[in-house]
Amino acid sequence: MLVAGALFATMGTFAKLLGTQFSGAELSFYRSLIAFILIGAFILWKRQSILTPFWRGHFWRGATGTISLIGYFYAMTKLPLATAITLNYTSPIFLTILSSVLLKEKLSRRLIFAIALGFVGVALLLRPTFEGDHAHAGFIGLASGFFAACAYVNVKKLGDAGEPEWRVVFYFAVAGTVGSALFQTLAVGSFQDINAANTPYLLGLGIAATVAQLAMTRAYHSGNTLVVGAFAYSTVIFASLAGIFIFNEILPPIAWVGMAIIIVSGLLAKRADKKIQATLAKSSAEAD
């Protein structure tokens, strides 16, 4: 999981470097397109079938994941790298709320505490963002965390239904490529030109993201979920180092406190939500 964390931070670094040339939707498009090519090559090599009976689950996973990805890249181009990544990592908090709503279960005191603590951290983290006149980017980054949680619910449902991980990644790459291209064309405009200077960065972004996603999938498959979830926050540490040494992003103390609180609340939510997730998995399998 540490490898995945370092690679996700590397992806964010490339996105930040490309942010002056490309929109969040364009970065999402190229990231998804490269993933599509790499996973597609694997499918052809292994002669795997892409036919699936779970098209509805793939659709919703792709739609929510693409919205999250576009918002994530937009936030990274407008905010300090560590801030944008931490906002996206609020997804465990939102996932706890969504799981409880879907199951119509009452939140325990521990979960309520974790959720409240998380939003205290968000408020502290966003305070410097508001002062820097980037409130809209902060809210978009937070929204990316919410839609990431929605995507994870569908990933869990697909996994519990027996859908292989590579097929989930493949269809997400397809959805991300098509959805990002549509968003860029309809909401932003034409695509920026690709040249010899920015091509290596785009390739680095896509390759780092794809390998990181596969490494994360392997970690969750073979390791303890709670331990892996804790190490997932290593991305924030790596991104903080990249922000300091590459982009000279010096965050105020209140932002660091907010980041730490969000990480703690996310870990608490993962731990307290373990039972709810097991019930959600069971109910999802029965529904399918």
Q: Over the stretch 105-128, which tens digit does the pLDDT of each residue have? A: 666 777 778 788 888 888 888 776
Sign of the four-CA dihedral 95, 100, 103, 109:
positive
pTM for the predicted model, two decimal places: 0.84
Q: For the segment 28-54, what is each residue's pLDDT rounded down to a tens digit? A: 999 999 999 999 998 999 888 888 898
Please provide residue 141's backbone torsions phi and psi, each rounded to the nearest 5 degrees: -60, -40
The pLDDT of residue 280 is: 44
**For 75-79, 89-93, 182-186, 199-203, which range has the lowest pLDDT when averaged over its residues?**
89-93
CB 92 within 8 A of CB 175: no
Domain boundaries, the chain: 2-287
Instruction: Supply the mean pLDDT for the chain.
Output: 82
